[in-house]
Chains A and B, each alone.
Chain A
Amino acid sequence: MGGAKGLLAQSALVVGLVLLAVWLTRNAGVNIEARGVATGFDFLGREAGFDISQKLVRYGPTDTYARVFLVGALNTILVAALGIATATVLGLAAGVMRVSRNYLGRLLATTYVEISRNTPLPVQILVWYNFALLAPPPRNAIGVDGLFFLTNRGVFLPQPTFNGAGGFAVAGMVIAVVAGFVLAAHFRKRRTETGESPNPSWGWAVALGGAALALLLTGNPTGVDVPHKEGFGFLGGFTMAPALLALWAALSFYTGGFIAELVRGGLRAVPVGQGEAARAVGLSEGQALRLVILPQAMRVIVPPLASQYLNLTKNSSLAVIIGYPDLVAVFAGTSLNQTGQAIETLALVMLFYLVCSLSVSAFMNWYNSRSAAWATPR
């Protein structure tokens, strides 16, 4: 397009967008005034007045809407993190099985993939929720007293507790583990490059030792809060509500199918000769897969894998259909209904997801540029 024409088209777009924005804002102003709804983000400081069943941080009805946002966001992150971990394991297993030499293994994996990918996630969530409610009632709970219980009101698990200098102990342990990881990576890199460096396992020794030291120095302020039977219910420990279990299972099952296809595609992208060569130099089939084929397949798998993780995080918003209190349910649901401030609450929720997806895009760009540097020119 020529310069003048291009300028005209762009100005038209800008003018059109500005006019649209002005029109929409005016309409919204009139409508909001007519409904007598407050505007702005002052409501974040107000008391929310409702309780949330599943929470990772302390929260009560007297806390503010800002706290509700935090609780919801953490719940979204919790189910997303759990789902990502299990979906990856499931997807990797199914993906490897789909290219296995065993016909029945292939058939089983194919059946799984075709079912998980071709049925809607909301339906899968409802099915898993139905399963979760089939567990026995609390008085016939399956489990060991003082360890864990499985009931139709959820799974009750032991929970680590920290008191007194607990914050310092946790911080110390985190620092030790990170330092150990960095050290191990450094040793491994030195070893590949120069051949002379301590065993990378020393890094892990540093992590373990450091963590133990942190506990010792702070006087071991940690404990474990175990669930135990009390009347008709349970006391103590960490409760995973049936909704959380169902959502976790459904997200893993659904995304696992997509990941399996990525893994299969990645494995097929590795030339057959690589596997044959690995076997020829005496590696076992498992070693060949683990040490030769998968690392090469990872380059193809990781970028779309990142976007599957992102999809899983976005899909966790379907929590609302079974009442798991994720960000959308507590903020774009309950908080929106109570305050009536639809624009503000939805904008905050969308912002949260946008930040997640933009960080994943940033990671993918970084990874692509790094793996492009590895790749041999073709």
Chain B
Amino acid sequence: MTADRAPPKVTALQWARSNLFGSIGDSILTIVAFVIFAWLVWVAFDWAILRATWFGESKEACTRGGACWAMITARWEQVVAGYYPQAQLWRVALAMVCLAVAVLPIVMRRLPAWAVLLAPAGVIAALALLSGARILPGVPTEYWGGIMLNVLVGLTGAIFALPIGVLLALGRRSELPVIKAFSIGFIELVRGVPLITLLFMSSVVLPLFLPSGMSLDKLMRALTVVTLFSSAYMAEVVRGGLQAVPKGQREAARALGFGGVRTTALVVLPQAIRISIPAIVNTFIGLFKDTSLLYVIALLEVTGVIRQALADFAWLGLENEGYVFVAVVFWIACFSMSRWSASLEKQSGARVKRPVEEPA
């Protein structure tokens, strides 16, 4: 490529000529696109900012003709944390810090090997903090909700799914027929069905399979299903990474006298996971978007909170505001993660050969 040659200097006029008015067709496209774009931006800006009402007790307060963000601000605590008790909200904040620590081993490079343990430790600490773990006052999971629940389910699912996915990916490449068949069967079964059928399963079928005295909390059931679901997608991502590790690496390790297990664990896997990190982030983006489905099984994540607000007589008919807000929250999170993943991909230069799929 020509990356090492400095690009010729381009004046603004030249740029406009080649990028905006290259031909008659181009000029028409430019003008049409500009009009559409400017109009859309103006309408959105006018509605969402200029004529918006930010605070109020009910939609009666919104008289300026623009967006009625009062619905969001009036229910801010619920939007953030569901019906978690007000006095205990510090626990939600601390739990989010724990989750941030949990993702450190994925986000940061050059951490000591033991740092991997931060991931499960952080997630378990967050769950313990939120539930109370018999030390703090207990908060049943029915009270958990809002954006906090999306983040919790997304991250917990992804972090626990990764090791299972690694095992499944290794199993799929294994020479042992039973283990290979089991891995392929599990991966293809889970990837072949929509998440919503699995969530329905967690709410109506899973209780049937538990011993009569034992009942598993609804959130825990959903977490189990989300983890297993994303592990199948993680497995395919890691498999792509494993395929991208040069064969010579394994051969060299074997030549140095490493056994099969140590070759995989110490030489091949670390490289495979390093290569797959951008794809893992993409899978996580898909998973995070999918957490908006949880309200279908009556878990009050942020979409559910908004839908509850919309059913309230005080805020009736504010669907636009509600859905735009949810969309913007997800957009900010997903867009920044996708940029980050793209920059990681560029840095490493190594590209996973398989196209990355988002969970569906």
Contact = CB atoms under 8 A, between A and B. Distances in A.
Given A317-B196, A317-B197, A105 B29 contact: yes
A235 to B, nearest CB: 31
B223 to A, nearest CB: 18
A6 B177 CA distance: 10
A108 B289 contact: no
Nearest to B201: A346
Interface stretch (A51-59, A65-73, A218-226, A303-311): A303-311
Given A321-B296, A354-B189, A119 B201 contact: no
Of the listed residues A126, A311, A354, the one surrounded by the most CB atoms of chain B closer than 10 A to its CB is A126
A119 B289 contact: yes
A104 B37 contact: yes
Interface stretch (A30-38, A162-170, A193-201): A30-38
Contact of B200 (A17, A102, A126, A346): A346
A101 B18 contact: yes
B61 interface: no
Secondary structure type dominating chain B contacts? helix
Interface residues of B, number: 60
A348 B334 CA distance: 34
Contact of B197 (A28, A114, A121, A349): A349
A127 interface: yes
Interface in A88-134: 100-105, 107-108, 111, 114-115, 117-124, 126-127, 130
B176 interface: yes
Contacts of B178: 10, 13-14
Contact of A328 (B22, B194, B303, B320): B194
B360 interface: yes
A1 interface: yes
A197 B294 CA distance: 59
Interface stretch (B69-77, B116-124, B204-212): B204-212
Contact of B338 (A118, A127, A361): A118
A318 interface: yes
B292 interface: yes
A108 B212 contact: no
Contacts of B290: 120
B8 interface: no
Contact of B22 (A101, A314, A318, A321): A101
Interface in B16-46: 18-20, 22, 26, 29-30, 33-34, 36-37
Given A118-B330, A118-B334, A317-B197, A108 B37 contact: yes
Interface in A304-359: 304, 307, 310-311, 314-315, 317-318, 320-321, 328, 332, 336, 342-343, 346, 349-350, 353-354, 356-358
Contacts of B358: 258, 311
26 contacts: A6-B176, A13-B179, A24-B209, A27-B208, A27-B212, A30-B212, A31-B209, A100-B29, A102-B19, A103-B30, A107-B37, A115-B331, A120-B292, A123-B292, A123-B303, A123-B327, A123-B330, A124-B327, A130-B319, A130-B320, A311-B360, A320-B196, A346-B201, A353-B192, A357-B188, A361-B188
Given A107-B33, A127-B323, A336-B204, 4 more contacts: A105-B29, A118-B285, A121-B289, A122-B292
Interface of B: 18-20, 22, 26, 29-30, 33-34, 36-37, 174-179, 182, 188-189, 191-194, 196-197, 200-201, 204-205, 207-212, 260-261, 285, 289-290, 292-293, 296, 303, 319-320, 323-324, 326-327, 330-331, 334-335, 338, 355, 357-358, 360
